[in-house]
A and B are shown apart, each in its own frame.
Chain A
């Protein structure tokens, strides 16, 4: 039994390292300054870069965060502090369901309500789609960490004459800020790797997109397109882009852990 479980644990751990190793092996040699600063070149041409994809991803994820974080956060606050038993249960249940909706379906939904009316693919649509994924994650995470703040701290703030809102804003949320921030970072890292929704919404762009209402390049979509193309050079770039994406996600995870470990924590 020990051997079996031990082997499975080893598989779990080594998988990450295998992926990393594969990406490094195949993609590292393509990493260069030009890779980060050049625009993609035409099919079959060598020497292109992913500059617009990086910026595009930043735009889309940024937009998604702008919408998703405040909405998710406020929803989390509502769930933790204001909702009654029945309503709270309903909201939680719905949020969890939304979380479970396949990302491609979310993409289709955004396609229907943004892309079609506007008659164009856009970063806006992509951002919206990703925000729909970010909202339930953020809401439940925020709620969870707010609920972990001991009741006695809430009461302590109220007993000093703070109104409920004031107590939440100045004591409870700050007390839970580490957990909430960590959750947000991890949520953002997660959505930045989502590919399916972007296929329907932001689509992709060989060039710089000049506004949010234009199709926009993004890392996951570039990886998808390049990897499935017949060009060797593009395969190389796909690996490199994959490495970049994974690197960003790992960096976010490590940053989140660093936040949790340092700084004052709540008393046990």
Chain B
């Protein structure tokens, strides 16, 4: 018997909730993404890592079609959600199903309550008298309810940075997205706030599929089930996080995660 890495036989693979196939993206004449093909498994957290400018954020922003709101951009290739190409469907519907949390907290200049209710209201999801319910449920899912339940009608800007980011997560969750995209959500936060959000994500993955872009490799190692490594617009390697951090296949991956470059 040949010695192999001890690994449980790969059971029938969980279905891919989202799938990118050969995605190319251009800012003007500059090609930012080269033929990216990647699956996102349902109810798993996938981390995208790589040095600055490697295209991971650009790729993430293509997943909910926010990238196309910038002028002078072009894309070809396919991204599918549950097997259907997202570029063929109504963009507002896609963005309801695929939520996003940004790098810096960006609450609207409204009250906490109004911030949370915004998404459902815009998507016609609020039945009469049920707004309070939606707000409470979302804030609980984001582990923020206890801290703000007495000041729902105060300005969102009165919250601390970490709280604002959890508010943005609650706001994104309020529309019940199937996929949640997070673009370096903790980069502006202190370690305690970061830890809270990481715990939150681990709890959330049962309810949706999560994709997180992060600069912080330890975070990817802690939080993600699968990890993809980007470099200069290409996807170099993607696999179980454990494999990437124990024994990656590609030298570039290993050089990056051991800090030899980037």
Residue numbers of B with Cβ under 8 A of A are: 64, 66, 69, 71, 92-93, 95-96, 99-100, 102, 104, 106-110, 118-119, 122-123, 155, 157, 168, 171-172, 175
Asked whether B108 lies within 8 Å of A157 as measured between CB atoms, the reply is yes
Question: For the complex, is A170 an interface residue (Cβ under 8 Å from B)?
Answer: yes
Question: For the complex, is A38 an interface residue (Cβ under 8 Å from B)?
Answer: no
Question: For the complex, is A20 an interface residue (Cβ under 8 Å from B)?
Answer: no
Binds B, one of A92-100, A148-156, A184-192: A148-156
Asked whether B122 lies within 8 Å of A161 as measured between CB atoms, the reply is yes
Asked whether A155 lies within 8 Å of B66 as measured between CB atoms, the reply is yes
Asked whether A158 lies within 8 Å of B95 as measured between CB atoms, the reply is yes
A205 to B139, CA, bound (A): 64
Min Cβ gap A14→B in Å is 39
Question: Could you pull out 23 A-B pairs where Cβ atoms are within 8 angstroms?
Answer: A84-B71, A85-B71, A152-B102, A152-B104, A152-B106, A153-B106, A153-B108, A155-B102, A155-B106, A156-B106, A158-B66, A159-B102, A160-B95, A160-B118, A160-B172, A160-B175, A161-B96, A161-B119, A161-B123, A162-B122, A166-B122, A170-B118, A170-B122
Asked whether A161 lies within 8 Å of B175 as measured between CB atoms, the reply is yes
Question: Which residues of B have CB within 8 Å of A264?
Answer: 109, 155, 157
A157 to B207, CA, bound (A): 23
A265 to B93, CA, bound (A): 31
Question: Which residues of A have CB within 8 Å of B172?
Answer: 159-160
Asked whether A159 lies within 8 Å of B109 as measured between CB atoms, the reply is no
Asked whether A175 lies within 8 Å of B96 as measured between CB atoms, the reply is no
Question: Which residues of B have CB within 8 Å of A166?
Answer: 122
Question: For the complex, is A174 an interface residue (Cβ under 8 Å from B)?
Answer: yes
Question: For the complex, is A267 an interface residue (Cβ under 8 Å from B)?
Answer: yes
Most buried by A among B71, B119, B171: B119
Asked whether A156 lies within 8 Å of B71 as measured between CB atoms, the reply is no
Question: Which residues of A have CB within 8 Å of B157?
Answer: 264, 267
Q: Is the interface of B mostly helix, strand, loop or mixed?
A: mixed
Most buried by A among B71, B96, B106, B171: B106
A162 to B115, CA, bound (A): 13
Min Cβ gap A13→B in Å is 34
Asked whether B106 lies within 8 Å of A161 as measured between CB atoms, the reply is no
Min Cβ gap A152→B in Å is 4
Question: Which residues of B have CB within 8 Å of A267?
Answer: 109, 157
Asked whether B155 lies within 8 Å of A159 as measured between CB atoms, the reply is no
What string of 1s and 0s marks CB contacts (under 8 Å) between A55-75 and chain B?
Answer: 000000000000000000000
What 7 pairs across the A-B complex have the smallest Cβ distances? A161-B96, A160-B119, A159-B100, A152-B106, A156-B106, A161-B95, A162-B122
Min Cβ gap A202→B in Å is 41
Asked whether B118 lies within 8 Å of A155 as measured between CB atoms, the reply is no
Question: Which residues of A have CB within 8 Å of B106?
Answer: 150, 152-153, 155-156
Q: Nearest B residue to A164 by beta-carbon distance?
A: B69
Asked whether A160 lies within 8 Å of B109 as measured between CB atoms, the reply is no
Question: Which residues of A have CB within 8 Å of B110?
Answer: 174
What string of 1s and 0s marks CB contacts (under 8 Å) between A161-179 and chain B?
Answer: 1110010001100110000
A15 to B171, CA, bound (A): 53
Min Cβ gap B185→A in Å is 13
What string of 1s and 0s marks CB contacts (under 8 Å) between A122-164 and chain B?
Answer: 0000000000000000000000000000101111111111110
Asked whether B92 lies within 8 Å of A163 as measured between CB atoms, the reply is yes
Asked whether A156 lies within 8 Å of B92 as measured between CB atoms, the reply is no
Question: For the complex, is A266 an interface residue (Cβ under 8 Å from B)?
Answer: yes
Question: Which residues of B have CB within 8 Å of A156?
Answer: 102, 106-108, 168
Question: Which residues of A have CB within 8 Å of B69?
Answer: 154-155, 158
Min Cβ gap A181→B in Å is 14
Contacts A160-B96, A160-B99, A163-B92; A175 near B118 (Cβ below 8 A): no
Given contacts A156-B102, A174-B108, A267-B157, list 13 more A-B pairs with CB under 8 A.
A152-B104, A153-B108, A154-B69, A156-B108, A158-B69, A159-B95, A159-B100, A159-B172, A160-B123, A160-B171, A160-B172, A162-B122, A170-B118
Q: Which of B66, B104, B123 contacts A159 (CB 8 A)?
A: B66
Question: Which residues of B have CB within 8 Å of A162?
Answer: 92, 118, 122
Min Cβ gap B141→A in Å is 16
Q: Nearest A residue to B110 by beta-carbon distance?
A: A174
A211 to B89, CA, bound (A): 54
A171 to B104, CA, bound (A): 17
Most buried by B among A155, A170, A175, A265: A155
Min Cβ gap B152→A in Å is 16
Asked whether B108 lies within 8 Å of A159 as measured between CB atoms, the reply is no
A264 to B100, CA, bound (A): 25
A160 to B101, CA, bound (A): 10
Min Cβ gap B257→A in Å is 29
A158 to B181, CA, bound (A): 14
Question: Which residues of A have CB within 8 Å of B99?
Answer: 159-160
